[in-house]
Amino acid sequence: MNNQPVTVITGGAGFLGSHLCDRFIAEGHKVIAIDNFITGNPDNIAHLMGNENFKFIKHDVTEFIYVEGKVDNILHFASPASPIDYLKLPIQTLKVGSLGTHKALGLAKAKGARFLLASTSEVYGDPLEHPQKETYWGNVNPIGLRGVYDEAKRFAESMTMAYHRYHNLDTRILRIFNTYGPRMRLNDGRALPAFVHSALNGTPMTVFGDGSQTRSFCYVSDLVEGIWRLLNSNETEPVNIGNPDEITILDFAKEVQTIVKELTGKDTEIIFKELPSDDPKVRKPDNTKAKERLGWEPTINRAEGLRKTISYFFKQAGII
C-alpha cells in the first residue's frame, strides 16, 4: 500500500502553481499538475518532467476532471490572474472561477480529498476598510472591467463554502495579496514585470495616475509557506496571506529603478499615464489571522525579494 500523499494542482504551470509543484514534491508528495497553458508556461515545469513524483495533464478544468487513483489534496490555482489577462480573457476568467471551481470541488468530493481555493484580495474590490480583514465584505463593481475576476473569485468562495457546509467537504480558502518572484510573465501587465520589461527594452516605466495608489508585495516563497501551513491547518474560513509592508506604486517604481541601475548601470525614466477604471486605491492585508492560526509571517523583505526577481529576469534575458 502506497502511503505517499497525492496532490493535484490546477494551474500547475503558472507562476504560483509551478512553485507549489516544487514545494509539494520537496515535501514528499506525488504532484499531478493540470493546466491548459492559457496563461501558464511549459517552461515553468520543464525541470520536473521525468521526475517520478510529477505528472502533467494538459486539460481545461472547466470540463470534467478525471484523475486515476487516490487524491489527498486539490489546490485550485487555475485562473488568469492579472488585469491584462482577464481583460483579454473575460469569459474564460469567469468560467474557470465558476465551472472550473465546480469541477475541482467535484473531484475533491469524489476522492474524499482536502480542497484549497486560491482566492484573492480582489474580493475586497476598491476597499473602504484599510487594512483589509477577512471579515470585510468588500466594495466590488460587478459590471466594471475588473469585475470578471473579482466576481469569479467571490463566486468560487461561495461555492467552496457551500460544498463545505452541504457535502462536509474539507476545504480551505486562501486570499492572496500581490505576490512576485521568478517565473512571472514579463508581459502579464502587473507592476513589477511591467517595470522590468520596460527596463529590459530601454523604454520608460509607466506609472498610472499619480502613483499614490498602494500595494503590498509578498515574495513567492513566503506565500508558498503560507499555503502549506493553511492546507495543513484546521482553518476553514478565508485567510489573508500577504506582506503588510505597504508602498505607493511610485515609490515601488523608484525602488525598481534603483536596483536596475545597480545591476546594469542604466537609468530608467518614469512616466505617468491615466489611471485605469476600477483600479483599487489601497491594498494591505490584515495578517492577524494568519499569524495567530497558522504561525505565519513573511520573512523576505522587499529589497531582497526585488533583487532576486529582477536578477532572474535579467539572467533570462542574458543581460547579467
Where in the sequence is the domain holding 107, given as residue range(s)? 6-181+219-243+282-299
244-300 pLDDT, tens digit per residue, is 999 999 999 999 999 999 998 889 999 999 988 778 899 999 999 999 999 999 999
Residue 1 in this model has a pLDDT that exceeds 70: no
Show which residues are catalytic.
149
pTM over 0.75: yes
Residue 274 lies in a domain: no
Cβ–Cβ under 8 Å, residues 48 and 23: no
Helices (H), the chain: 15-26, 83-88, 90-95, 101-111, 147-166, 191-201, 220-231, 249-264, 288-289, 302-316
* Mean pLDDT, the chain, whole residue set: 96
Per DSSP, the three-state class of 16 is helix
Residue 207 lies in a domain: no
Residue 201 lies in a domain: no
Residue 291 lies in a domain: yes
Cα gap 77→100, rounded to integer Å: 10
Q: How many CB atoms lie within 10 A of CB 261?
A: 13
178-210 pLDDT, tens digit per residue, is 999 999 998 888 999 999 999 888 999 999 999
4-29 pLDDT, tens digit per residue, is 999 999 999 999 999 999 999 999 99
**Which CATH number covers residue 126?**
3.40.50.720
Instruction: Respond yes or no on whether the N-terminal peptide bond of residue 244 is cis (omega within 30° of 0).
Output: no
Residue 249 lies in a domain: no
Stretch 40-69: mean pLDDT, rounded? 98
**C-alpha cell recorded at residue 96:** 474557470
- Confidence (pLDDT) at 200: 87
**C-alpha cell recorded at residue 245:** 509592508
Residue 120 lies in a domain: yes
> Residues of the chain with pLDDT > 70: what percent?
100
Cβ–Cβ under 8 Å, residues 224 and 176: no
Cα gap 216→179, rounded to integer Å: 8
Residue 54 lies in a domain: yes
As for how many domains the chain has, the answer is: 1
Residue 309 lies in a domain: no
C-alpha gyration radius of the chain: 19
